[in-house]
Amino acid sequence: MARLAAMLVKEFTQMRRDRLTFGMMLGIPLMQLVLFGFVINADPKHLATGVVLADRGPQARTVLHAICNSGYFDFVRLLENEAEAEAVLLGGEVQFVVNIPANFSRDLLRGERPALLVEADATDPAATGNALNTLRVLAEKALEHDLKGPLAALGGSDGPIELRIHPRYNPEAITQYNIIPGLMGVILTMTMILITGLAITRERERGTMENLLSMPTRPLEVLIGKIIPYILIGYIQVAVILAAGYYLFGVPIAGSVSLLLIAAFVFIVANLAMGITFSTIARNQLQAMQMAFFVFLPSILLSGFMFPFRGMPVWAQYLGEILPLTHFLRLVRGIMLKGIGVTEVMQGLWPIGLFGVVALAIAAKRFRRTLD
Amino acid sequence: MSVTAAIDVRGMTKRFGRLTAVDHIDLEVQAGEICGFLGPNGSGKTTFIRMLCGLLRADAGSGTCLGYDVIRESEQIKRRVGYMTQRFSFYEDLSIEENLDFVARMYAIPDRRNAVAASLERLGLAGRRSQLAGTLSGGWKQRLALAACMIHEPKLLLLDEPTAGVDPKARRDFWEEIHQLAAAGLTCLIATHYMDEAERCHRLAYIGYGKLLTQGTVSEVVAQANLTTWEVTGPRLMDLAQRLRSVPGVRQAVPFGNALHVSGDDAALLDRNTQPFRVAPYTWQSAESSLEDVFIHLMDPLSDNARA
Ligand SMILES: Nc1ncnc2c1ncn2[C@@H]1O[C@H](COP(=O)(O)OP(=O)(O)OP(=O)(O)O)[C@@H](O)[C@H]1O
Ligand SMILES: [Mg+2]
């Protein structure tokens, strides 16, 4: 009993000394509550949609209104033609493109069942599923009001218009196609942040820091020296996931592998830099690990890995945009599933690079050359 | 200010919160000199040494170390100084050789391979070069650290209790080497708690409560203390010591082997007040004050130094 008491007293005293750990114990559940309670939405609405409007007749307008009123589609861009539609879909700027072909109204009134073409970025089947289901119902009901009286016959048994949905990039809606490339980003985030997060705190804890600092070293030399070895580890992980995804799960690689490796490099370095920044702030390894955990949670939940990014409230999307994982997921899914090229990759890559540079700058600034 | 001073600092001060760990210490050590750095536990030795090599920012103070500004040019100083930490601070998961190699690279030693090999040879560890440093015995760790901080042939050695836990033979070898290097111009500042080591230094600096209390050669330090010591032999010396300690004028009464050293800083008072005890079966003999007598006297909370 006395010995148990001894242990308890010691543990409580040590717990009290480590304020940060205590704070995290409260902070992490709070964060989870907020994220799961307010942010996660498995039925994403207001998805960015582009419109190619080749017919401006009243019926075309009615159809568009109906689509908009469903709440699932937000028209954000009016597109000139198919080529532009293709580009914004590829770049991930919109989730859908609604294409109203020329003579839509005329053909409708003639009872020729004009086509309403909807292209969807289906890389994440969860993001588009409900919206597309709604669309099927809409197409039939939308014109009920317009087609009354003598025109009612046009409603026919097949419906007045022909809805053509093209789920692009992942037409069979295979979840693995979306998850596996995403997993690459998640795994890199977890391991890379943690591995450098412990790097400097470990030197401090083991007392080797005093020796290291007594030698003629510059902060950047120490920091970069601690980052480079793990870039290699990161690449090994990328290779394993890529191979497993391709051979085991049949995930296609539509784009260029070397482009993927370049994107992965920037992403790995950004995460390592973030880890090393934590390492310069935390006082011990436990604190560094908790800081890493504090980033994992939002990274997994807000990045679009588990839940559709566009389903989150706007403020959460802004938060998500800060995270390197959010951008990397778009890149890796874009390269593997959509086959995006250099231009699109660069657009998504610079925020990751910027994040890395800022993190490294903070680390270099925080890195104490002295023991006090 | 002398041109040949390897260390020449004034008013070095370091505070940790309300505690002033190092309080306006002036120290001058000439090139080629071995300076012993003494003081009780927590007196600020490690803190002072850390300030010299730029590991701690001084709160006040100025001066030079190897001719470089001790506050602003710590990068230059670090290149030329070998600092041995009090606590073992090499990589326990690297082998002896790998640790030495790491240090050699850090200092960009031109002929690294030979430097490491020579260092292993001198250390007498060539046969165990691939043993992990963490599995070395305490004394060997100490010797490894010592070898590592000398590998880049520094101009100044700052050694924080380099021989703690080292066996007598290795200690003697160490001091022999230090004296040889000093003769060739190397300067040493060595923190130690061993009296025999203090006596091997050219000069001593003694600090207490962060203040420099005394400095000089061994005989100067002893003379400055102005201590009178008697050596008493006889039976049941501990009882005698107990009684003597309450006598005014007696600063200390400590057993030394089979004798008791009784000392005080007022010779006349000591002489007068100890008269009643100078009876059979005790024999009293006037003795030289040893360095240890002096240091224990300096540590004594009743002495003026400590109260200052
Ligand atoms: N980082 C720190 N924070 C607060 N106080 C400190 C710190 N480092 C040292 N001190 C205090 O400064 C004083 C001097 O410590 P220092 O380690 O310099 O003593 P020392 O002379 O080397 O002792 P020893 O002989 O035991 O090695 C001590 O009271 C110590 O508690
Ligand atoms: Mg010390």
A371 and B92: CB-CB below 8 Å?
Answer: no
Q: What is the CATH number of the domain that holds A123?
A: 3.40.1710.10
The reply to whether A179 and A256 lie within a common domain is: yes
**Closest C-alpha residue for ligand 1 atom 27:** B41
Any domain includes A8: no
B59 Cα to chain A: minimum distance (Å):
11
Gap between the Cα atoms of A137 and B27, Å rounded: 90
Ligand 1 within 6 A of CB of B16:
yes
Any domain includes A9: no
Any domain includes A18: no
Q: A104-118, A235-249, A351-365 — which is least confidently predicted?
A: A104-118
Among B13, B106, B132, B156, pick the best mutation site for testing chain A contact (most A Cβ within 10 A): B106
Q: Which residue has the tokens 């160490």?
A: B174
Any domain includes A285: yes
Mean pLDDT score of chain A: 87
**Gap from CA of B191 to ligand 2 centroid (Å):** 8
**Gap from CA of B177 to ligand 1 centroid (Å):** 29
What does the pLDDT look like over B227-256, one tens digit per residue?
Answer: 888 898 888 888 888 888 888 888 888 888
Any domain includes A122: yes
Query: Which chain B residue is nearest to residue A215, measuring alpha carbons?
Result: B78
The reply to whether A197 and A342 lie within a common domain is: yes
The reply to whether A179 and A162 lie within a common domain is: no
Residue A152 pLDDT:
60
Any domain includes A358: yes
Residue A268's nearest CA partner among A317, A331, A200 is A331
- Choose the final residue of a domain: A140, A168, A196: A168
What ligand has the least distance to the C-alpha of B192? 1
Ligand 1 within 6 A of CB of B41:
yes
Pocket test residue of B12, B13, B37, B46 for ligand 1, highest count of atoms within 8 A of CB = B46
Q: Are the C-beta atoms of B157 and B189 separated by less than 8 Å?
A: yes
Could you report the predicted ipTM of this complex, rounded to two decimals?
0.86
Neighbours of A332 (CB within 10 A): 28
Given CA atoms A299, A304, A306, A310 in this order, what sign does their dihedral have?
positive
**Gap from CA of A174 to ligand 2 centroid (Å):** 65
Ligand 1 within 6 A of CB of B42:
yes
Most confident of A68-77, A347-356, B259-268, B281-290: A347-356
Ligand 1 within 6 A of CB of B47:
yes
Q: Which residue has the tokens 């190897």?
A: B66
The reply to whether A67 and A101 lie within a common domain is: yes
Query: Which strands sit side by side in the sheet containing A96-100, from one edge to the other?
Result: A73-79, A47-53, A96-100, A115-121, A162-168
Instruction: Give CA separation, A328 vs A294, A333, B79, in Å.
Output: 19, 8, 43
A216 and B91: CB-CB below 8 Å?
Answer: no
Q: Could you tell me if B56 lies within 8 Å of chain A, comparing CB atoms?
A: yes
How does strand B283-287 pair with strand B228-233?
A: antiparallel
**Closest C-alpha residue for ligand 1 atom 5:** B16
The reply to whether A97 and A159 lie within a common domain is: yes
The reply to whether A146 and A192 lie within a common domain is: no
Query: Which chain B residue is nearest to residue A213, measuring alpha carbons?
Result: B55
**Gap from CA of A32 to ligand 2 centroid (Å):** 46
Q: Are the C-beta atoms of B212 and B25 separated by less than 8 Å?
A: yes
Look up the domain containing A233 and give its range. Answer: 174-371
Residue A153 pLDDT:
59
Q: Look up residue B156 and give its amino acid.
A: L
List own/partner pairs for A215-223 with CB under 8 A and 24 or more apart.
A215/B78, A215/B103, A215/B106, A215/B107, A216/B75, A216/B78, A216/B79, A216/B106, A216/B107, A217/B106, A219/A363, A219/A364, A219/A367, A219/A369, A220/A364, A222/A367, A223/A276, A223/A360, A223/A363, A223/A364, A223/A367
Tokens for B278, please give them.
């100078």
The reply to whether A146 and A267 lie within a common domain is: no
**Gap from CA of B123 to ligand 2 centroid (Å):** 24
DSSP run (H or E) holding A315 = helix A314-322
**Gap from CA of B191 to ligand 1 centroid (Å):** 13
Q: Look up residue A353 and give its amino acid.
A: G
Query: For B125, which DSSP code?
Result: -
The reply to whether A105 and A194 lie within a common domain is: no
Q: Are the C-beta atoms of A332 and A315 separated by less than 8 Å?
A: no
List own/partner pairs for B63-67 with CB under 8 A and 24 or more apart.
B63/B7, B63/B8, B63/B9, B63/B10, B63/B12, B64/B5, B64/B7, B64/B8, B64/B9, B65/B6, B65/B7, B65/B8, B65/B9, B65/B156, B66/B6, B66/B7, B66/B155, B66/B156
Classified as helix, coil or strand, B100 is helix
Residue A81 pLDDT:
85
The reply to whether A197 and A303 lie within a common domain is: yes
Q: Are the C-beta atoms of B142 and B166 separated by less than 8 Å?
A: yes
The reply to whether A208 and A336 lie within a common domain is: yes
Any domain includes A21: no
Residue B239 pLDDT:
84
What domain count does chain A have?
Answer: 2
- Choose the final residue of a domain: A139, A168, A197: A168
- Within chain B, which residues score under 50 in pLDDT? 1-2, 306-308
Q: Are the C-beta atoms of B36 and B201 separated by less than 8 Å?
A: yes
Residue A14 pLDDT:
86
The H helix count followed by the E strand count for chain A is 14, 5
Residue A59 pLDDT:
82
Q: Are the C-beta atoms of B34 and B178 separated by less than 8 Å?
A: yes
Gap between the Cα atoms of A339 and A132, Å rounded: 23
Cα-flanking dihedrals φ and ψ of residue B286, to 5°?
A: -70, 135
Q: What angle do CA A334, A335, A340 make, to 5 degrees?
A: 75
Any domain includes A295: yes
| Atom of ligand 1 lying closest to residue B210 CA | 14
The reply to whether A245 and A353 lie within a common domain is: yes
Query: Which strands sit side by side in the sheet containing B187-191, from one edge to the other?
Result: B81-84, B156-160, B187-191, B34-38, B203-208, B211-216
The reply to whether A258 and A143 lie within a common domain is: no
Of the candidates A211, A217, A371, the beta carbon closest to that of B90 is on: A211
What does the pLDDT look like over A211-257, one tens digit per residue?
Answer: 999 999 888 899 899 999 999 999 999 999 999 999 999 898 999 99
Ligand 1 within 6 A of CB of B211:
no
- Choose the final residue of a domain: A168, A195, A227: A168
Residue A93 pLDDT:
87
A207 and B87: CB-CB below 8 Å?
Answer: yes
Ligand 1 within 6 A of CB of B57:
no
**Closest C-alpha residue for ligand 1 atom 28:** B42
A371 and B55: CB-CB below 8 Å?
Answer: yes
DSSP run (H or E) holding A241 = helix A219-243
Residue A58 pLDDT:
84
Q: Could you tell me if B126 lies within 8 Å of chain A, comparing CB atoms?
A: no
Query: For B95, which DSSP code?
Result: B
B176 Cα to chain A: minimum distance (Å):
25
**Closest C-alpha residue for ligand 1 atom 16:** B44
How does strand B259-264 pair with strand B252-256?
A: antiparallel
Q: Are the C-beta atoms of A213 and A370 separated by less than 8 Å?
A: yes
Q: What's the mean pLDDT in A274-298?
A: 90
| Atom of ligand 1 lying closest to residue A371 CA | 1
